[in-house]
Chains A and B, each alone.
Chain A
Amino acid sequence: MTMIGLEIHCQLTNLNSKLFCSCKANYREFEINENICPVCMGLPGSLPRLNQDAVKKATLIAMALNCTTPEKIAFFRKNYFYPDSPKNFQITQLNIYGDTSVGGAGSIMVGDKKIRITRIQLEEDPGRLIYEGSSSKNQITLVDYNRAGTPLVEIVTEPDFETPKEVRDFLNILSDILANLGVADPSLEGAMRADANVSIEGGKKVEIKNIGSFHDLEKAVHFEITRQESLHSRDIDIIQETRHWDDQRKITVSSRSKEEDLDYRYFLEGDIPWITIDPEIRKKLQIEMPESINSKKERYISKYNIPSQVADVLSSDKYYSDLFEDAHTESNAKEVANIITTELMGLVDTREKREVSKFTFIHLKELADAIQSGKVSRNSSKNALHEILKSGKDLSTVITELDLGNVSDESELSGIITLVISEESQAVEETKSNPQTINYLVGKVMQKTKGKADPTLTLDILKKQIGV
């Protein structure tokens, strides 16, 4: 049986500051080596100052993933030399001397399958290496410490996956959960990374590192299973090793390092006293815990009668569900959901597009209301949405400027309808025997008004004039 386990690293991107100093957790907007201080540079004499908020957020994650949360947590030093590590040790968590990391055993459901979580630990991200120069002889390595000390949550799973597809589904669900908790924005470059352990029946565990994206992870796992199976079928031993994902060639390559032999000489980090997470704090976190994706979905279905598929899409993406929550009312909920899933999702599907768009929930609310009250047709609403995303102008301005408002003036509409009736005498006759035909006439009116005729009013006048 194929067994796959994951180690997922997720930066707590929504925190203000790094794990042990007041430099920004969001290092991405800085020039190289600008977001640094004596603490995250590991300067002589500096000491870590624990970001209590990070502990709370990590505990929140543990609770959301149904993990046990110990009453006392501790930090340990993982000792190793590497150029991206300013202190040449990493402050992390460990469970070998009792359960002292933020989260213990937990699980989440992926479809009908339960994936067990081994533990969750809070730790610091190292700096970033930048390679310059082309040939290996001229290559130099530069270090950018802006990222060093960024709060990172490591989520370790049991080897419960059997296929690359399960891995992919799990990661999608996990990243939705983390986004929904408001602790991280997994769409940020490098915010979520994962290593995989892969072993097939009769083989040894192989760890794959350096995988840039979830998409590549699925590929890497797939490649690795195929590689191991082909070795196995030829009776070649699969050795326990660490392999790196080669992004260019899309294969895994043996790291040829002695990484497995490294002894990290873990010991307690004396600069950070044990932290008590008492029941009060946990209770508070439970109360503050955002509504889960599943609960949102159920609510959308039962309260607003939103179709299950729409509710599913809407609830799992924090950006859309936040928009929905802010924009909807009892009466317009279905319309709001409809606009989001049929129109908006195609227009703001990337984080870049979301960032440049000037769209707010107020636009969404007004648009839904306008459609419901017949102020704009569903057809024209698409044009309005495009314009709003571009300009950020309010709906009424957009309607006026683009002349998108429905023709709801009865005399104006009557004139147009009279014209249509005179042009379509055959259809008018048919309508008297087959009422469905009236829709054809409504369509004609729409054609003449470029889709702006108020549909309800049009139907009323048509019926009146024809006499059905």
Chain B
Amino acid sequence: MNLKISALDFIQEVKTGNISVEDFVAKTIEQIQNVDDKLHAFLSVNEEAVDQARKIDKKIKSGDKVGNCFGMPISIKDNICIKNSKTTCASKMLENFVAPYDATVIKKLKQQDAIFIGKVNLDEFAMGLTTEFSAFGPSKNPWDTNYVPGGSSGGSAVSVSSFECVASLGSDTGGSVRNPASFCSTVGYKPTYGLISRYGLISYANSIEQIGPLTRTVKDSAFMLNMISGIDHNDNTTIDNKNEDYLLGIESGIEGKRIGIIKEMIGEGIDPAVLSATKDAISKLESLGAICEEISLDMVKYSVAAYYTITATEASSNLARYDNIRYGYDFPLEGYEFNSYISKARRNFGPEVTRRMIIGGFVPSAGHAGKYFLKALKVKSKLTREINEAFKKFDFLVSPTVPILPFKFGEKIDDPISLFLVDINTVTANLTGKPAISIPFANSNGLPIGIQLMADSMNDKSLLQAAYALEQTVSLPEVPI
């Protein structure tokens, strides 16, 4: 049984009867048992997965209607609610929280007969770039376990790249899908803001984040988008995409397309290997018939500062509800009144979350908002204007997903400022609501490098076409697990 197949191949194999869902899922569970002690992608594994697989096999055999996922084992970042299962956000605050409802994406995938193989690791409440801030310990990069897998959707990227699932759902607030995808050599997709319902995604910075797929191929991401995108009455920010088929015409190529190379994203501090991979990607895009040209986006240099100001503000508000009154962890009430109780109970948040909530309490506060929060909003709207201008001239914008290579554990955890610069190339898509994708492109001494393409809002389909074209030029080594 070969686990190293794409989602579309899996579906094909099941459809043609070459493999049974039960065998594949059992084998996947076995893979998790074999490698996850070392990699720690999973926070919980679905005990009923094999039973569920058997049921789908039965449906296939009896000729009943089967959903488009055909029992595909998918891992889910543990900040997305699945009814009756633990959703911890990798936080001690939600260690025992069992979601009483399904996120919209989960509901949609259930209808399509997907199997949720397990919940995967993240930085606590998705705040981080390495999974080192998970309250339950970090995930390891399968390319070299001394290295971080990226984050915050590190568990998603690890589980996809080490064949513990066929595809995964992560969430991307400032690069949290694309960053680990780049570090673990998988595809990571952040759609146009509003394309995928956030209902059931535990909010970190709700005005800019999106759920996104991590997959082995670009086509698989397009397939996942087909499954989970579209308007949802439970999320007022969703957009009607008229049931767009993102796979249709994905092989159209990029002949004649105009691509802007963002100068600020290949500047100071970039790793030479990343720079050379980016140059290589540009020449490949040109050889496919695209016209590439440098462009400067002035506001990018302020984007990370604006990003942290806005996300901290929203986070501090979004996480205020964790007062341990309606749900949470065991913590006796005796001897406290309301204020002392919640301030004590809320000490269960980890250091990074606490740091951001403190910042988030300060930057929008009276007397300081003008200097910080409102200024950040100004940067956001200026950056949006700037990028909208750029998309009048270009179809896509290209950059490395992360300007540096994956780094070792502990290397940057005590240096939040340098860690924040890892975000420089990814936050722009979030602040402006644009779709962006990370494509595995190169490998430098065993460490993966991803290339990022961005497109204008609602141009997700053409973005996937461009990503597919670039992907076809790449040949990469196999992950050494």
Contacts and interface: CB of A to CB of B under 8 A. Distances in A.
Interface of A: 38, 41-50, 77, 79, 81-83, 86-89, 141, 143, 263, 265-268, 270-273
Contact of A47 (B100, B198, B325, B369): B198
Nearest to B205: A270
30 contacts: A38-B100, A41-B326, A42-B321, A44-B99, A44-B327, A45-B103, A45-B199, A45-B201, A45-B202, A45-B203, A47-B198, A47-B199, A49-B233, A49-B236, A79-B316, A79-B320, A81-B339, A83-B338, A86-B326, A143-B325, A265-B366, A265-B369, A267-B313, A267-B314, A267-B317, A267-B364, A270-B314, A271-B203, A271-B206, A271-B235
A265 B365 contact: yes
B207 A270 contact: yes
Nearest to B93: A44
Given A43-B100, A81-B323, A273 B361 contact: no
A273 B194 CA distance: 11
Interface in B58-111: 79-81, 87, 89, 94, 97, 99-101, 103
Interface in B185-204: 198-203
B240 to A, nearest CB: 13
Contacts of B325: 83, 143
B81 A44 contact: yes
B354 interface: no
A48 B199 CA distance: 9
Contact of A49 (B234, B322, B338): B234
Contact of B321 (A88, A141, A263): A88
A38 B235 CA distance: 13
Contacts of B295: none
Contacts of A47: 198-199, 203, 206, 234-236
A49 to B, nearest CB: 6
A277 B411 CA distance: 53
Given A43-B327, A44-B97, A87-B321, A267 B236 contact: no
A265 B317 contact: yes
Interface string B324-359: 011100000000001100100000000000000000
A86 B321 contact: yes
A265 B314 CA distance: 11
A77 to B, nearest CB: 6
Nearest to B314: A270
B365 A263 contact: yes
Nearest to A50: B236
B44 interface: no
A48 B203 CA distance: 12
Identify the 9 closest CB pairs spanning chains A and B, nearest first.
A270-B207, A88-B320, A45-B200, A44-B202, A45-B81, A45-B202, A265-B364, A263-B366, A87-B321
Nearest to A267: B364
A265 B101 CA distance: 30
Given A47-B234, A79-B317, A89-B320, 16 more contacts: A44-B94, A44-B99, A44-B322, A45-B103, A45-B200, A46-B101, A46-B199, A79-B316, A81-B323, A81-B338, A81-B339, A83-B325, A266-B364, A271-B206, A271-B237, A272-B237
A272 B89 CA distance: 24
Contacts of A42: 321, 326
Nearest to B208: A270
B373 interface: yes
Given A44-B89, A44-B202, A86-B326, A81 B364 contact: no
Given A43-B327, A47-B198, A81 B342 contact: yes
A263 to B, nearest CB: 5
B306 to A, nearest CB: 14
Contacts of A87: 320-321
A267 B366 CA distance: 11
A88 B323 contact: yes
Contacts of A270: 206-208, 237, 314
A43 B100 CA distance: 9
B376 to A, nearest CB: 11
Interface in B352-390: 361, 364-366, 369, 373
B324 to A, nearest CB: 11
B201 to A, nearest CB: 6
B236 A271 contact: yes
B203 A89 contact: no
A86 B202 CA distance: 15
Contacts of A50: 236
Nearest to A41: B326
A81 B200 contact: no
A381 B202 CA distance: 65
Contacts of A265: 313, 317, 361, 364-366, 369
Nearest to B200: A45
Nearest to A261: B366
B237 A273 contact: yes
A44 B321 contact: yes
A265 B360 CA distance: 10
A45 B198 CA distance: 8
Nearest to B89: A44
* B87, B97, B326, B338 interface centre (most CB from chain A within 10 Å): B326
Interface in B233-292: 233-237
A79 B317 CA distance: 7
Given A263-B366, A270-B206, A45 B317 contact: no
Contacts of A46: 101, 199-200
Contacts of B198: 47
A45 B94 CA distance: 12
A102 B338 CA distance: 34
A130 to B, nearest CB: 14
- Which of A79, A81, A89, A270 has its CB near the most chain B CB atoms (within 10 A)? A270
A263 B81 CA distance: 32
Nearest to A21: B234
B320 A81 contact: yes
Nearest to A268: B207
A142 to B, nearest CB: 11
Contact of A44 (B87, B207, B317, B369): B87
Contact of B87 (A45, A263, A267): A45
B363 to A, nearest CB: 9
Contact of A48 (B207, B236, B317, B338): B236
A464 B475 CA distance: 121
Nearest to B87: A44
Q: Which one of A41, A141, A263 has the highest number of Cβ atoms from chain B below 10 Å of its Cβ? A: A263
A119 B81 CA distance: 39
A239 B338 CA distance: 28
A10 B36 CA distance: 56
B234 to A, nearest CB: 6
B354 to A, nearest CB: 16
A141 B325 CA distance: 12
Contacts of A266: 364
Contacts of B316: 79
A265 to B, nearest CB: 5
A265 B81 CA distance: 29
A425 B198 CA distance: 95
A325 to B, nearest CB: 37
Most buried by B among A43, A44, A47, A79: A44
A289 B236 CA distance: 28
Contacts of A38: 100-101
B373 A267 contact: yes
B317 A89 contact: yes
Contacts of B323: 81, 88
Contacts of B89: 44
A47 B202 CA distance: 9
Nearest to B88: A44
Contacts of B235: 47, 49, 271
Nearest to B235: A47
A50 B236 CA distance: 7
Contacts of B97: 44
Contacts of B202: 44-45
Interface centre among B99, B202, B207, B236 (most CB of A within 10 A): B236
Contacts of B79: 45
